[in-house]
């Protein structure tokens, strides 16, 4: 069953351009030059219950704008959307109690209060019974390893600890749909892994529908089977993560190893592919996907190769290549 249905959703912003100087300010009183920015253009997709979908795109592609419309923070210029059977921008109370939006660069906790007090305030707003609140906070803080930080002022928490508390605040009322915009931004690798492991477990146990944007491809690779790529406000790709490699990566990485006693004949190697890395004991070539088998056979016949390793190009490089286009 589709939990999120988006049809031809669009959002256009009108911005005013001001001329420099006092003269420009005076002219602006009588004549303002405006510019239309099409942030999202006729976007359509469906997300089923329990799916964890990566929502990718370069800066300014329309990711956050789309999430804000689905959360009811922005009214669209055109199109329609249904989340859990509700129209988000109508802001029905029944909808607001079933979703959460976490913006990695925005704070929802009170800066000068301990995290526990902000969480308690959220519990009162959502009408969460005290026993359920205590149990939920206990479980989530233990899973995220911040149980001993509940009574610390939010401004005194590290970035990783604060993001974990923000995530707990978003999940306090056990939402059925969770919109995450850069939830691991700025975190160290240990905190990133903790958050990823937690989201994977939460999604598996509670079947929460999660839409995740991130510039860290490790987040996407470890959590999402399906990705939606948006660029210049339009859907560029919607499908399984592995299909990106099949469609957009037309080469593989071929690594050859020798005993290191003889130099690599680089001129001969370049006949089969681009040299990515070369040292005394090994060389890595970028070889076209259709030519990998032939290149392996030829190189094994011509060179004293001890071992061969064939790998897909890292998904991060493929995505970067797509964005560059």
Domains parsed from the chain with CATH numbers: 2-246 (3.40.50.300), 249-324 (3.30.70)
| Contacts for 177 with CB less than 8 Å, ≥ 6 apart | 3, 4, 83, 84, 98, 99, 100, 208, 209, 210, 211
> For residues 142, 146, 150 and 152, what is the CA-based torsion angle, rounded to 10 degrees?
170
pLDDT for residue 8: 95
Residue 87 has pLDDT above 90, yes or no: yes
Burial of 61 by CB count in 10 Å (0-12 exposed, 13-18 middle, 19+ buried)? buried
pLDDT for residue 262: 67
Residue 145 has pLDDT above 80, yes or no: yes
pLDDT band at 254 (very low <50, low <70, confident <90, very high): confident
**Percent of the chain topping pLDDT 90:** 41
What is the chain's mean pLDDT, rounded?
87
Residue 84 in contact with residue 95, Cβ under 8 Å? yes
Residue carrying structure tokens 């660029």: 231
Which among 170, 181, 178 has a CA at the least distance from the CA of 207? 178
pLDDT in tens, 259-296: 776 677 888 888 888 888 888 788 888 888 888 888 88
Question: Between residues 23 and 173, which one has the greater pLDDT?
Answer: 173
Residue 213 has pLDDT above 70, yes or no: yes
Question: Where are the strands (E) in the chain, listed by range?
Answer: 2-17, 33-48, 52-56, 78-83, 99-103, 177-181, 209-213, 226-231, 234-240, 251-257, 274-278, 282-288, 307-312
Which among 216, 238, 232 has a CA at the least distance from the CA of 62? 232
Question: Between residues 32 and 295, which one has the greater pLDDT?
Answer: 295
Q: What is the mean pLDDT of residues 231-247?
A: 85
pLDDT for residue 325: 62
Backbone angles phi, psi at 136, to 5 degrees: -65, -45
Q: What single string gives the DSSP state of each residue in 5-36?
A: EEEEEEEEEEEEEPPSHHHHHHHHHH--EEEE
pLDDT for residue 252: 85
């Amino acid at each position: 069953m589709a939990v999120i249905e988006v049809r031809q959703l669009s959002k256009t912003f009108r911005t005013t351009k001001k001329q420099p100087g006092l003269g420009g300010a005076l002219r602006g009183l009588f004549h303002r030059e405006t510019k239309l920015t099409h942030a999202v253009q006729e976007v359509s997709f469906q997300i089923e219950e329990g799916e964890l979908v990566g929502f990718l795109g370069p800066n300014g592609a329309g990711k956050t704008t789309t999430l804000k419309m689905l959360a009811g923070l922005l009214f669209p210029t055109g199109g329609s959307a249904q989340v859990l059977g509700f129209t988000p921008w109508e802001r029905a109370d029944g909808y607001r109690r079933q979703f959460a939006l976490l913006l990695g660069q925005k704070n929802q906790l009170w800066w000068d209060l301990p995290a526990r007090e902000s969480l308690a305030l959220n519990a009162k707003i959502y009408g969460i019974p005290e026993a359920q609140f205590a149990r939920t906070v206990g479980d989530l803080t233990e899973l995220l390893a911040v149980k001993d930080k509940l009574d610390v002022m939010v401004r005194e928490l590290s970035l990783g600890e604060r993001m974990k508390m923000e995530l707990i605040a978003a999940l306090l009322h056990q939402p059925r749909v969770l919109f995450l915009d850069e939830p691991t931004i700025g975190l160290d690798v240990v905190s990133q892994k903790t958050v990823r492991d937690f989201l994977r477990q939460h999604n598996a146990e509670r079947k929460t529908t999660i839409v995740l944007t991130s510039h860290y491809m490790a987040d996407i690779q470890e959590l999402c089977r399906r990705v939606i790529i948006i660029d210049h406000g339009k859907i560029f790709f919607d499908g399984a993560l592995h299909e990106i490699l099949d469609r957009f990566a037309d080469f593989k990485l071929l690594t050859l190893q020798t005993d290191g006693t003889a130099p690599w004949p680089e001129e001969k190697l370049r006949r089969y592919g681009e040299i990515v890395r070369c040292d005394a004991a090994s060389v890595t070539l970028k070889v076209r996907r259709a030519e990998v088998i032939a290149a392996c056979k030829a190189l094994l016949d011509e060179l004293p190769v001890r071992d061969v390793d064939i790998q897909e190009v890292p998904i991060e490089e493929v995505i970067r290549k797509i964005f560059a286009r």
